């Protein structure tokens, strides 16, 4: 077949890239080879637009066992235990086919974790949808939530935390980011690097079908009016088969049979074989007629590019094939030796004895394009919002408007669709700053959280990048966990757009600065570009997933008030920053201005001293102050408790709206028993921590001195209204 310009374009390749391919091969590729280059050179697999910037992120630390470059990151949590975790996007598939797109996103991230030898213990997600008024939002929301719940519930892994947000920037491109966390022994971590010559290359799991072909390429392109035509590129998942595959792989991992293992994710058999060979500086020869297929007359092209789910590629030690096959037979899964490792450094593809394709491994991996794309710095807004020029409203009305909005309403209608307690180690479910998962049969636990803040990143990408890291840090601190490491999912528009590329570069500057200062390394992650439709890009939406350690878990610490008449302290200084606040957005539809400053020194100092208070058992409950400011944080604490609050007016900031709704960073609300107040204040003073005594807990009412008084049950009712009316 003659490779035409149209065929090149349909494979997501540029004319220049095609010329580079011909130069590397010293000939023109055939269609199969072109498809393989298309898969490996697309944005999703090669990170060709992001690699230069990603290298700048800190990825090392005493706690880091494995950083970026493997299926997932690995950190040491002591006692020979390791946590394996990663977050990844499934944005494009979830817009085209919401249920299967979201479900296979969960399935894919789980395979990334158990491929490393870890048993998955928790799932999280960050999902973003368009305006609730948009005609597609409701169906997308229902489909995605059902897909996440359906897959996680069926496979029997708890979905413990996440976030659900709405904004018109996602009207034509919703975001679905899935995170998985697993537990392993640190001396039993498995990697994808191939070793040895003439070793068996084994296909295990489900059979290969025609679903998901060109899925990776589709995820590296913008949507347009022909989006519906891309449905065949969306994979179809089967959680019951994945459960079998997980158990079979973990059983095989108990002995020394496996040299390397790689899941067939994006680009399927192509990416798994190339990545294994590339890391081991070897070649791989595959006999494609041996690939188990569920459809008749599948071609080598279809086999290599299919993204059918629940499949793995394993390289075994000599003589281990028979025993390994017994395990997979027991679990009723395919187990077929389809090839071998070679010393050729080529990907050699045979079909019925004939060579159908032969490509140097380095041409697909290390020699894939790396682009230093042009980018421009964000033009910053100098617009100041003057409250005196705005229509006057009451504090109570402003609060109720926020609490009844889509983004701040009660999300239990989402989380109730997820099984949060299966496996019996969930010590704290969603509803606090972070979920807590007990390490089975031990006193210690991990805390996990995911966070994003697109409006901050849009208005000032560097500050926004720092803020997300810090908010994630605070969420873990708030439940008594020492933050250890993060994974990130970087959702952006078209990188060929200089403004978008600038947003990406500057957000990473901010993430880098915060991670370095807080000793909070990035150990895994994913980049999702081309999020947009008809050249309209989404707002920059980096998502941070964090893991922290609780060395001794007695009673989980959260945002639920514990006692009547205990003291409430506000840790961190309030300046009253309202630009980019949800107060202005929900009450006045104003989204102008700069986000609040992030002071990393204060973040670190405040966080470390909160942990001191927790370690000394001086805190009853804790909650970080973020979107909506102090008043919304207090509302969230009351609505999850049997207690309300009685709050004093501030003594140093006269403007009540700035004080209560300002989104100044680095702040916490802590509940302290009156008997412990003196000890707590001593620690705070000794460490130069700014704090205010803002009031106390009480029964039944949410109250601010002479400004508002409302029953907690009425506050909860209002907070539930959005979903009830949607």
Which residues are tagged catalytic? Answer: 44, 90
Which two structure tokens, joined as six digits, stand for 501? Answer: 């590329």
Main-chain dihedrals φ then ψ at residue 200, nearest 5 degrees:
-70, 130
81-89 vs 532-533, strand pairing mode: unpaired
Q: Is 690 exposed, middle or buried (0-12, 13-18, 19+ CB in 10 A)?
A: middle
Which two structure tokens, joined as six digits, stand for 351? Answer: 């079909």
Sign of CA dihedral 165, 225, 99, 469: negative
Q: Which ranges in 360-497 belong to alpha helices (H)?
A: 361-364, 395-403, 412-415, 454-459, 461-478
Cα 579 to Cα 470, 591, 646: the distances in Å are 19, 7, 27
Sign of CA dihedral 271, 277, 278, 279: positive
- Contact yes or no for 598/665 (Cβ under 8 A): yes
Half-sphere exposure of 417 (CA within 13 A, CB side): 15
Cα torsion for 463, 467, 521, 505, to the nearest 10°?
Answer: -30
51-57 long-range Cβ contacts below 8 angstroms, 24+ apart: 51/370, 52/370, 52/371, 52/372, 53/504, 53/505, 53/508, 54/508, 54/525, 54/527, 56/508, 56/509, 56/512, 57/508, 57/511, 57/512, 57/515, 57/522
Consecutive H or E run containing 635: helix 629-639
Closest to 416 measured CA to CA, from 178, 720, 654, 185: 720
In sequence order, which residues have a C-beta less than 8 Å from that of residue 3 and are 6 or more positions away? 18, 28, 29, 31, 34
Distance, in Å, from the CA atom of 299 to the CA atom of 495, rounded to the nearest integer, reads 34
Q: How many CB atoms lie within 10 A of CB 474?
A: 29
Cα 392 to Cα 397, 576, 643: the distances in Å are 10, 17, 30
- Contact yes or no for 42/366 (Cβ under 8 A): no
Distance, in Å, from the CA atom of 406 to the CA atom of 167, rounded to the nearest integer, reads 9
159-166 vs 119-129, strand pairing mode: parallel
Distance, in Å, from the CA atom of 703 to the CA atom of 701, rounded to the nearest integer, reads 6
Distance, in Å, from the CA atom of 11 to the CA atom of 234, rounded to the nearest integer, reads 16
Closest to 90 measured CA to CA, from 217, 177, 148, 214: 177
- Contact yes or no for 218/233 (Cβ under 8 A): yes
Distance, in Å, from the CA atom of 685 to the CA atom of 678, rounded to the nearest integer, reads 10
Distance, in Å, from the CA atom of 681 to the CA atom of 694, rounded to the nearest integer, reads 14
């Amino acid at each position: 077949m003659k490779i035409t310009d149209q065929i090149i374009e349909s494979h997501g390749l540029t004319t220049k890239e095609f010329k580079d391919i011909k130069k590397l091969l010293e000939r023109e590729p055939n269609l199969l080879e072109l498809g393989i280059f298309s898969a490996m050179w697309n944005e999703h697999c090669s990170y060709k637009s992001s690699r230069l910037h990603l290298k700048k992120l800190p990825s090392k630390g005493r706690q880091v066992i494995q950083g970026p470059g493997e299926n997932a990151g690995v950190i040491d949590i002591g006692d020979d235990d390791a946590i394996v975790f990663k977050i990844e996007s499934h944005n494009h598939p979830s817009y085209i086919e919401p249920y299967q797109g979201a479900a296979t996103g969960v399935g894919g991230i789980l395979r990334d974790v158990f491929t490393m030898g870890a048993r998955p213990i928790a799932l999280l997600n960050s999902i973003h949808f368009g305006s609730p008024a948009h005609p597609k939002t409701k169906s997308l929301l229902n489909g995605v939530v059902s897909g996440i719940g359906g897959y996680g519930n069926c496979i029997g892994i708890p979905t413990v935390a996440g976030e659900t947000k709405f904004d018109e920037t996602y009207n034509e491109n919703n975001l679905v980011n899935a995170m998985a966390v697993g537990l392993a022994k640190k001396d039993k971590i498995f990697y994808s690097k191939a070793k040895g010559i003439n070793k068996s290359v084994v296909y295990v799991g489900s059979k290969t079908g025609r679903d998901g072909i060109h899925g990776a390429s589709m995820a590296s392109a913008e949507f347009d009016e022909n989006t519906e035509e891309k449905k065949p590129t969306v994979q179809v998942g089967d959680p019951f088969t994945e459960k079998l595959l997980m158990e079979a792989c973990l059983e095989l991992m108990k002995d020394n049979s496996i040299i390397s293992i790689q899941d067939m994710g994006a680009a399927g058999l192509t990416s798994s074989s190339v990545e294994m060979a590339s890391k081991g500086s070897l070649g791989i020869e595959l006999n494609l007629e041996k690939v188990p297929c569920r459809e008749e007359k599948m071609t080598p092209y279809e086999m290599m590019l299919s993204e059918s789910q629940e499949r793995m590629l394993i390289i075994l030690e000599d003589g281990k094939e028979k025993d390994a096959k017994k395990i997979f037979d027991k679990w009723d899964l395919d187990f077929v030796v389809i090839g071998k490792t070679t010393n050729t450094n080529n990907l050699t593809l045979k079909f019925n004895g004939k060579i159908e394709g032969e490509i140097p491994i380095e041409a697909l991996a290390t020699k894939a394009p790396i682009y230093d794309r042009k980018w421009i710095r964000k033009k910053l807004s100098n617009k100041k919002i003057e409250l005196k020029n705005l229509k006057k409203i009451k504090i109570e009305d402003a609060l109720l408007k926020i609490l009844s909005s889509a983004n701040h309403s009660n999300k239990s209608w989402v989380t109730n669709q997820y099984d949060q307690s299966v496996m019996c180690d969930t010590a704290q479910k969603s509803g606090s700053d972070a979920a807590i998962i007990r390490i089975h049969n031990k006193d210690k636990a991990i805390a996990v959280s995911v966070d994003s803040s697109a409006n901050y990143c849009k208005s000032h990408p560097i500050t926004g990048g720092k803020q997300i890291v810090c908010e994630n840090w605070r969420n873990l601190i708030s439940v008594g966990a020492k933050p250890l490491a993060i994974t990130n999912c970087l959702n952006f528009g078209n990188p060929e757009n200089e403004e978008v590329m600038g947003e990406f570069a500057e957000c990473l500057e901010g993430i880098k600065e915060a991670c370095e200062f807080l000793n909070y390394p990035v150990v895994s992650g994913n980049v999702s570009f081309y999020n947009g439709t008809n050249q309209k890009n989404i707002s920059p939406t980096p998502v941070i997933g964090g893991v922290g350690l609780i060395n001794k878990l007695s009673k989980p610490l959260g945002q639920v008030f514990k006692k009547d008449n205990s003291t409430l302290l506000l840790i961190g200084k309030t300046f009253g920053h309202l630009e980019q606040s949800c107060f202005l957005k929900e009450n006045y539809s104003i989204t102008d201005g700069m986000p609040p400053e992030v002071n990393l020194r204060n973040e670190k100092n405040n966080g470390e001293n909160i942990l001191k208070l927790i370690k000394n058992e001086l805190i009853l409950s804790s909650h970080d102050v973020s979107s909506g400011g102090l008043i919304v944080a207090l509302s969230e604490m009351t609505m999850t408790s049997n207690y309300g609050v009685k709050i004093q007016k501030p003594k140093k900031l006269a403007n009540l709206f700035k004080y209560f709704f300002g989104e100044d960073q680095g702040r916490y609300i802590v509940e302290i028993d009156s008997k412990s107040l003196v000890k707590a204040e001593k620690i705070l003073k000794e460490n130069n921590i700014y704090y205010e005594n803002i009031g106390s807990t009480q029964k039944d009412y949410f109250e601010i001195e002479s400004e508002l008084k409302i029953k907690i049950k009425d506050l909860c009712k209002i907070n539930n209204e959005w979903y009830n009316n949607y």
